[in-house]
Amino acid sequence: MTSSQPTIAILGAGRVGSSLARSFVNAGYTVNVAGSGAVDKIALTAEILMPGARPMVAADAVKDADVVILAVPLHKFRGVDKDMLTGKIVIDTMNHWVPVNGEMEEFDLDPRSTSEIIAEHFPGARVVKSLNHIGYHEIEQDAHTGRAVAYATDDAEAGAVVAHMIDRIGFTPINIGALSHGRVLEPGQKAFGAQLHEGFDFGDLADQAS
């Protein structure tokens, strides 16, 4: 793999997954996509909504990928095989939406960011929090407008790969530091849904992560 052209697997063929698939295919990436349904069902969705993406079962999609994008509802994350993410760069786009996910004590009662909990669940994955704080409809709409997308990770090399990917789909990447800092990108926080730009005031990241 090179930082400029990793193969991407997107787990989740909903609105977020579809938007990201289109963006990365249009940027020249090889994109595998897997959903919860049968491959032939996903193939029809891909043909219409994600032309150029390759529909597969999750295991096959991930096997040949360098970067895996988790774009499933948060309450379904335990359905993803831990072992197949070992060694992979994993972009966590998931958010804790109570109307969608319901009450989830493991997140509601834990002071850590959701991505720290995800990283703990997938100990072999190189987790990067990103692409969760921008609406799925804005991923294509706001590309190449100067808007920024933030990322947080404890793995500098993985972060560099993701930063390049963000740039390739038309956004300015902003490194906000440790994975714990990803809390500021979550629903209800200052950066969530904001029109981020270089110089955006995230506040005291360390304080917000504690």
Can you tell me the distance from the alpha carbon of 204 to that of 86, in angstroms, rounded to the nearest whole number?
Answer: 32
* pLDDT tens-digit series, residues 18-75: 999 999 999 999 999 999 878 988 898 899 999 999 999 999 999 999 999 999 999 9
Domain boundary assignment for the chain: 8-209
Pick from 15, 60, 54: nearest CA to 33: 54
State in words which class domain 8-209 has: alpha beta
Please give the model's pTM, rounded to 2 decimal places.
0.93
Can you tell me the distance from the alpha carbon of 153 to that of 134, in angstroms, rounded to the nearest whole number?
Answer: 18
* pLDDT tens-digit series, residues 159-206: 999 999 999 999 999 999 999 999 999 999 989 999 999 999 998 765
Gyration radius of the chain over CA positions: 16
* pLDDT tens-digit series, residues 107-156: 877 889 999 999 999 999 999 999 999 999 999 999 999 999 999 999 99
pLDDT at residue 100 above 80? no
